[in-house]
Amino acid sequence: MIETNFSNKHSEMGLEDIGDCCYAMKQYNSAIEGYQKVIDNYPQSPLLALAQYSIAQSYRKLANYEQATLEFNEVIEEYPESDYAAPAQYYIGYIYYQNQNYNDAIIEFQKVIDNYPECIWLDGQNRLIAPCAQYYIGWCYENIEDWDNAIIAYEKVVNDYPDSTWSDGSSIPEYAQYRIDWINENHP
């Protein structure tokens, strides 16, 4: 029995590793296959949420945004308590943003703030996701030229997340303040 459990654990980790290797080599279709095998073959695996999230990211990298959105939603629905639910919600908003569907992006980014206010990115830097979502809400309002709501959104970044940073360490509130100043100068 112990040997079987070790063997199963080793197999699921191997499949996850294959998916990771393919992902790193930008062979996203092969990565999806590897991650899907973990989900299909090991329904009790602690790696399921990660595998599902990785499938979604692979579709995003393939620019198959419709499928990526479906897969990110699967993460949220199937693994709502996992560390992957908040970034999945963020990327749904980001996909809408990338596709210039700003009103839907605002709704999806707001869900990050409402549902995952204390969740952090998975990059080990202990950074909150919510300030990034709040910033992009402002940016979406800018893109639809709703200047008043853009300023309100950016002010929330400055006031609610004064120490927040992007992954490169730069200050999100500084970017937000720059956008506020730009709007005030160009669209008073």
* Segments making up each domain of the chain, as ranges: 1-82, 106-188
**Contact yes or no for 122/83 (Cβ under 8 A):** yes
Interhelix angle 130-143/172-186, nearest 10 degrees: 20
Mean per-residue pLDDT over the chain, rounded: 89
The answer to whether residue 2 scores a pLDDT higher than 50 is: no
Write down the pTM of the prediction.
0.87
CATH top-level class of 1-82: mainly alpha
- Smallest CA-to-CA distance from 117 within 101, 132, 104, 105 is with 132
Q: How confident is the model at residue 11 (pLDDT cuts 50, 70, 90)?
A: very low
Query: What is the pLDDT, as a whole number, of residue 73?
Result: 98
Q: How confident is the model at residue 116 (pLDDT cuts 50, 70, 90)?
A: very high
Query: What is the pLDDT, as a whole number, of residue 44?
Result: 87
Q: How confident is the model at residue 143 (pLDDT cuts 50, 70, 90)?
A: very high
Residue linked to tokens 């197999």: 11
pLDDT by residue (tens digit) across 14-62?
Answer: 555 666 777 677 777 888 888 888 888 888 888 899 999 999 999 999 9
